[in-house]
Amino acid sequence: MSKVSPDKPVPDFELAATNGRTIKLSALKGHNVVLYFYPKDATSGCTLEAVAFSNFQLKFKRLNTVVLGVSRDSLKSHENFRRKHALKFDLLSDESEKVCKLFSVMKMKSMYGRKYRGIERSTFLIDTDGVLRAEWRKVAVKGHVDEVLMAIKILN
């Protein structure tokens, strides 16, 4: 499977999601899709980001946009995270890193001098035809949702 690139169709993929669902990208045609990748459920930055996306869910819906969060966490972890913070969108589990690799979000990171592979916080905007229209890498959580909403308004 080839990697994604701006202004090109995103290859179709399918992942297990919360609420016992399976999400297939091609089934979302006709909607914009915000696909955001985050390192880990229930960590401070990831919780702030998820809650921010959830708080603006009505605005995303009005803009014909589906928001999906993706990490390598298990569905059980996702369900607990989603329930605890009353998130209003589905979380996708990519334990195999198939979609993470497609979007090239797996990076070498370091914490307290220890190096490890992890997800680089990133967001992708896919238009109603399945074409990648915008990407944000090395995302800083504060103000990010506003940037994404503005990009969708411009796209529409």
Enzyme catalytic residues: 46
- How deeply is 13 buried, as exposed, middle or buried, from its count of CB atoms within 10 A (0-12, 13-18, 19+)? middle
CA triplet 147, 39, 59: central angle to 5 degrees?
Answer: 30
